[in-house]
Structure 1
Amino acid sequence: MIVLGLDPGLGTTGWGIIVAEGNRLAHIANGRIATRTTDPLAARLAHLGEQLNQLLIAHDVVSAGVEEVFVNSNGQSTLKLAQARGCLLATLGFKRIPVGEYAPRQVKQAVVGTGAAEKTQVHAMVKRLLPGVQIDGSDAADALAVAITHAHHLATARHTSALSPSPRT
């Protein structure tokens, strides 16, 4: 199964694509979608959506994980992040791609084993889980961590449903 992870941002959105087969993970691609700060908001959001759509087509993504909004003290920054995230979710929705949403602490917990992990620990574990990966910056590393988290959640859900008795009719 080809899984996309997204670390949303209006200025830079990180993305990472992995293939998950059972418990095995393999890196496919990663990178960043950058927007120009001089462009109007609508143009920046359109660019994010267009670039994501191209990734979805090029890599035949079947499921996606997206990091939730991290609320900070700057309300304007949080609002811009939320708008970028909304654009990405809408693009995934138009393509009918199922989405898992994860808080930053959930991602750290899934990848490192503790929700209080530092960014450097997360990035080190991403490299360990995806041997030989060349990561295109910290946004892409975060996105790969989201993809890994989503793949783990999907595997757990499949395993749990396989163990559940089927309802009687």
Structure 2
Amino acid sequence: MTRILGIDPGSQRTGIGVIDVDNDGSSHHIYHAPLVLLGQSSFAERLKQLLLGLNAVIEEYSPKEVAIEQVFMSKNADSALKLGQARGAAISAVVLHNLPVHEYAVREIKLAVVGRGGADKQQIQHMVGVMLNLQGRLQSDAADALAVAITHAHVRASAQRLGVNTKQAWSRK
């Protein structure tokens, strides 16, 4: 069994999702929550809270691998920069624990979870709930974080079957 932490980074809210993946490939929900960063006195303070919050999650749930959503291009340069900085803080928390980081683009996550790279938020939320047998509507940040973890679980299983690393298993080249 492997425990995977999925992270949907954000400068105001970061989604966190933890799943266990059995040797047969089945996934089980362990934990999900948004890490709300609003209300902090400065952006630097929010980044600190993000790093400390993820550190606490890593220490409590002891994941073996971590998957994080890549930054997508935004029309607003300031938002894209802040998102990139939040990703940096999240990755820093992960590497401080010597955990491997696997990155996935939004379209790859949607394709892996819904089967369509152009899927909308509601489709992601629905499929994550179905795949992990969760009741009720998932909050978007948590659903996205769990979707990143599920994507990595699928890619990881494919890589093991093919006898290659996860980057090779996902490559379209």
So what's the TM-score if we normalise by structure 1? Answer: 0.91
Answer with 111-120 or 100-109: which moved more: 111-120
Structure 1 residues 50-98: Cα deviation after superposition (integer angstroms, max 9, x where no partner): 0100000100111011001122111001100000000001111111111
What is aligned with 1:23? 25
Counterpart of 1:124 (choices 121, 126, 135) is 126
Structure 2 runs not aligned, ≥5 long: 165-173
Quick one: distance in 2 between partners of 1:60 and 1:93?
A: 13
| Greater relative CO (CA pairs within 8 A, separation 6+) | 1
Answer with 152-161 or 13-22: which moved more: 152-161
Return the offset for 1:128: 0.7
Contact 1:16 1:31 in 2 (8 A): yes
Counterpart of 2:81 (choices 79, 82, 104) is 79
What is aligned with 1:166? none
CA gap of 1:13–1:115, structure 2 versus 1, over 3 A, is same
List structure 1 runs of 4+ shifted beyond 3 angstroms: 133-136
* SS of residue in 1 equivalent to 2:163: helix
* SS of residue in 2 equivalent to 1:107: helix
Quick one: distance in 2 between partners of 1:132 and 1:112?
A: 16
- What code does the residue aligned with 1:29 have? Y
Quick one: distance in 1 between partners of 2:54 and 2:137?
A: 18
Quick one: distance in 1 between partners of 2:153 and 2:30?
A: 14
Quick one: distance in 1 between partners of 2:141 and 2:41?
A: 21
**Equivalent residue pairs, number:** 162
Return the offset for 1:134: 5.5
Contact 1:31 1:135 in 2 (8 A): no
Contact 1:67 1:102 in 2 (8 A): yes
The alignment's C-alpha RMSD in Å is 1.4
Return the offset for 1:133: 4.8
What is aligned with 2:98? 96
Return the offset for 1:153: 1.1
Contact 2:125 2:137 in 1 (8 A): no
Return the offset for 1:36: 2.6
Structure 1 runs not aligned, ≥5 long: 163-169
Quick one: distance in 2 between partners of 1:150 and 1:7?
A: 13
Contact 1:7 1:13 in 2 (8 A): yes
- What code does the residue aligned with 1:6 have? I
